[in-house]
Structure 1
């Protein structure tokens, strides 16, 4: 009897089914995007991995109230649609996933309800919609997978481009100039404006994705960091032992939270000081943190630093 020969199908997209899925979910490709049903039920814990703008995208998704930024689309992504520019927005009227304003400006919302376990994939579908939508159209939510296969945000954007968000004190930018809101849009605008916490992006050399937020009784600095969590915790612990984990007088390290695969350290700040007054302290802290990160290769953590790291772990929460 002839021996049975195993025949292995070559994936159409060239990805080995047994290799980790390129989406970053941590699962094998055959159990993720290579499965028959796609990856609708697979949770991608770090959806913006591989993008230079990852930290800013997380900040805009999680805690910046009113901001926008031009998406750095690849030329072929624009050519595949109408060729228009797409503006990423934190929140759109009635939490829409997409909107083409009456003046033709196209927006994609970031703080929206997700329809799958991969936020990057959902955003890519919203971008695809915005590239071809008509003036005045709105996309309430990104619906179930329609087979259009837009890929992920990493497939549509220049992965090396950074974002410099434009922050606003209200949501008046929802409407074209000299356009008065009415009906549900007016109500949504009123509610959104009432919920805004004053927020400023710190502008200093070496400081990115760091935001001052006035929470009422106190102010905070929320700083999305790009380093792997364990590496960052070790560096923070080293600064803790040295008494250098602050931005100067009137600041105190409060803890951190995880969001979309990255760690976001938080400091309590004296709210009597203007946000810009914290920029020098953030710059100095950033340099100390970078030095601590570099030193980890040559100098393992001491016993005191390991204890400090364990204490920092106990002051973490996970948002996404």
Structure 2
């Protein structure tokens, strides 16, 4: 009797949805567990994973950057139902706290937290609602928040009435700027936090592009708004044409995906600085727009460039 074939019908990789996560791959939520044991669990024990959680928020790309790239920055928010309540969105709070209610009643929301409940925007919404009713101190979540308003549902705009009015700080001194009596413990925590913060600056000529100095080299990391496939094609066209260099001796070294958006990364020569990138970044944005407008299929050289860029891509969350 002939043996049965052990092979099973499988869905070709080309038919899989772009960005789909396999059951044995790491869960994109950042928990460190396999997808099938986390947000892909059959028992529904975790919340549904949201691939682009900050979509619809003013300054979505900057929020992604502040969550993933920028050590010390802040931006005021205006709330729908509490327009007079002071709310400050921060990259990081002391002890990586999700939120703090200050003695003044101001609410500080932290973006760089360890929640892995699937939807950071829902986490922020839940923490904000708790903070609105809390006394001065730390506010956070110990369990998944369940259904409810996301930050998009609670925010009218950034503090300037449009996008986010972002301040990139030299360090974390803003943590205790409103504290009259500063203890040695506060100063030690501030010193440790400042020591780990690489100098960072937000470019003014383009949106959501951040220069940073990591001592041995400098980087530009730029959160793009376009759909991933379109951005990849446009970057591949420019890469194949040798038009992806920002300044002499700079190099597009790869990119990563963060919260549903593509973030190309350039290595820059030490000593470049942020100011030297303003005009080149604006020129590159124009070239990228031109490449995005091209409708012809990629050439063999451009497809090769695209594959090379894809091989240097990682997913942050």
Q: TM-score normalised by the shorter chain: which range applies?
A: 0.7 to 0.9
Q: Which residue of 1 aligns with 2:302?
A: 305
Comparing 94-103 and 169-178, the one that deviates more: 169-178
TM-score, structure 1 length as denominator? 0.79
SS at match of 2:271: coil
1:49 to 28, 47, 55: 55
Matches of 1:163 and 1:265 in 2, distance apart?
22
Comparing 249-258 and 192-201, the one that deviates more: 249-258
Q: Which residue of 1 aligns with 2:258?
A: 259
Unpaired runs of at least 5, structure 1: 1-24, 26-36
Judging changes above 3 Å, is the alpha-carbon distance between structure 1 residues 133 and 248 closer, same or farther for their aligned structure 2 residues?
A: same
Mapping 1:198-209, distance limit 5 Å: 198-204=199-205, 207-209=206-208
Matches of 1:250 and 1:132 in 2, distance apart?
53
Dislocated runs of 4+, deviation >6 Å: none
C-alpha contact (below 8 Å) 2:88/2:108 kept by paired residues: yes
2:155 to 153, 157, 171: 157
SS at match of 1:256: strand
Mapping 1:125-204, distance limit 5 Å: 125-134=126-135, 136-139=136-139, 141-145=140-144, 150-158=148-156, 161-177=162-178, 179-182=180-183, 184-204=185-205
Q: Which residue of 1 aligns with 2:225?
A: 226
Per the TM alignment, residue 88 of structure 1 is displaced from its structure 2 partner at its CA by: 0.2
Q: Which residue of 2 aligns with 1:22?
A: none
C-alpha contact (below 8 Å) 2:209/2:223 kept by paired residues: yes
Q: Which residue of 1 aligns with 2:314?
A: 317
Tell me if 1:94 matches 2:100: no
Q: Which residue of 2 aligns with 1:15?
A: none
Judging changes above 3 Å, is the alpha-carbon distance between structure 1 residues 104 and 225 closer, same or farther for their aligned structure 2 residues?
A: same
Matches of 1:85 and 1:150 in 2, distance apart?
22
SS at match of 2:108: strand
Judging changes above 3 Å, is the alpha-carbon distance between structure 1 residues 289 and 85 closer, same or farther for their aligned structure 2 residues?
A: same
SS at match of 1:163: coil
Q: Which residue of 1 aligns with 2:24?
A: none
Q: Which residue of 1 aligns with 2:243?
A: 244
Deviation track 1:135-168 (CA, whole Å, cap 9, x = no partner) reads x3221x3222467x54111211237942131011
C-alpha contact (below 8 Å) 1:257/1:318 kept by paired residues: yes
Matches of 1:315 and 1:214 in 2, distance apart?
21
Matches of 1:66 and 1:100 in 2, distance apart?
19
SS at match of 1:257: strand
Deviation track 1:215-271 (CA, whole Å, cap 9, x = no partner) reads 111000000111111110100011012110121213111110111111110001122
Q: Which residue of 2 aligns with 1:33?
A: none
Per the TM alignment, residue 40 of structure 1 is displaced from its structure 2 partner at its CA by: 4.1
Tell me if 1:279 matches 2:278: yes
Judging changes above 3 Å, is the alpha-carbon distance between structure 1 residues 40 and 152 closer, same or farther for their aligned structure 2 residues?
A: farther
Per the TM alignment, residue 111 of structure 1 is displaced from its structure 2 partner at its CA by: 0.4
C-alpha contact (below 8 Å) 1:255/1:316 kept by paired residues: yes
SS at match of 2:293: helix
C-alpha contact (below 8 Å) 2:245/2:251 kept by paired residues: yes
Matches of 1:129 and 1:93 in 2, distance apart?
18
Per the TM alignment, residue 180 of structure 1 is displaced from its structure 2 partner at its CA by: 4.1
User: Would you say how many aligned residue pairs link Structure 1 and Structure 2?
Assistant: 273
Judging changes above 3 Å, is the alpha-carbon distance between structure 1 residues 52 and 146 closer, same or farther for their aligned structure 2 residues?
A: closer
Deviation track 1:31-86 (CA, whole Å, cap 9, x = no partner) reads xxxxxx99843222211123342111110001100010012422x3x26xxx4121
